[in-house]
Amino acid sequence: MFGFLNLNKPAGYTSHDCINELRKRLRLKRIGHGGTLDPMATGVLPIALGSATRLLPYLCNRKVYIGTVRFGITTTTDDITGNICQERAADHLTLAAIQEHLPRFIGQIEQLPPAYSAIQVGGQRLYARARAGEVVSAPPRTVEIYAIEVLDWQAGSYPELSLRISCGSGTYIRALARDLGAALGVGGTLATLQRIESGGLRIEQSHSLEMISPEHLPLHPPQEVLAHLPWQELDEAQLQDWYQGRAVVCAGLPSAQKVVGVTFAGTAVGIALRGGDRLHPKVVLKN
C-alpha cells in the first residue's frame, strides 16, 4: 500500500478519527493525513499510505473551501458548534455592505487563530487549555488568501453568506468568519464548511470512509498528487547512487526549481534538492 487516498471526511469525525478508522480497515499502521479538518467540516482530506507519508510535507499548500458565515452571532469556537457569546439581530446587513469589506481579507493578512485550535502554546494544545477554562491565545500569524467569491446570500435576522475561498496552508476559515463579522460590527460565526480541494486533490474524485477497504483502495501515485513539482526519471545506475544517498547527475533539470520529485520505472523513489546539474537526496523511498 503506497500512494495517496482522496478521502471525503464526514462531519463529526476528527482527522485523527479518520486515520484510526483507516488503520483498522486496511490493517496498516503507517498512515498520515495532509491538513487537519475540524470535526464539523467535511471534504477533501489527503491521506498518505505506507512510505508516502514521508511526502506529506511536499503537498501543494493551496486549499479551496466553501463556507457559510452566519452574521449576528459570535461563539467560543468561532463556528456553530461553540457556545454563543453574543447574539444580535443583523437584518439591516446588506450584501453590498459586505462586499465592500471583502478585499481587506485578500492577500497576505494577519490572522489570530481561534481559541479552540490545535496550535500549541506553552506545550499544550489551545483547545485543551480553552476546555480547561483558561483564556489563552496564540500570536497572530501571517496567512494568504488568494481569492474570495460570493456564492449565495440569504437575508434575515441572522443572514448567511456562502463563500468560495482559495487560500494557503494555515488559514482558518473560522477566523475569517469571525473577523468579517467583527469588521461589519455585527459579529459572525462559521455555520458550514466543506473543503473542495487540498494537496492537489479535488472533491469530485474523493471517496467516502465507508467505501474504503483492502479490496477497494483507489490510490493516486505521488507524481499525480505532487504534480506541482517537476519529476525526474532515473536509470538503473543512477538508482544505485540514489539509494546509497549520493547525488545523481541529471540533464535538462528545471533552472529555477529547487525541489524535484524522483522516479524509477515510473514509481516515485523520493524527493531531491537540486544543486546545479545534480540532484541531492532529501527523501529516499524504498517501497
User: Which positions are catalytic?
Assistant: 38
In this structure, the strands spanning 219-220 and 3-9 are antiparallel
**Selection from 282, 278, 238, 286 nearest residue 261 by Cα:** 282
Grid coordinates belonging to 130: 480553552
Grid coordinates belonging to 22: 483507516
Query: What Rg value do the Cα atoms of the chain yield, rounded?
Result: 22
The label of the residue with cell 496552508 reads 169
**Number of neighbouring beta carbons within 10 Å of residue 252:** 7
3-class secondary-structure state, position 162: strand
* Residue 238, H or E segment: helix 236-243
**Number of neighbouring beta carbons within 10 Å of residue 2:** 17
d(C-alpha 172, C-alpha 177), whole Å? 9
Q: How many angstroms separate the Cα of 253 from the Cα of each of 47, 241, 261, 279? A: 29, 18, 11, 9
d(C-alpha 125, C-alpha 286), whole Å? 34
The label of the residue with cell 465592500 reads 100
Contact between 122 and 55 (Cβ < 8 Å): no
Give bridge partners of residue 75 from the DSSP assignment. 84
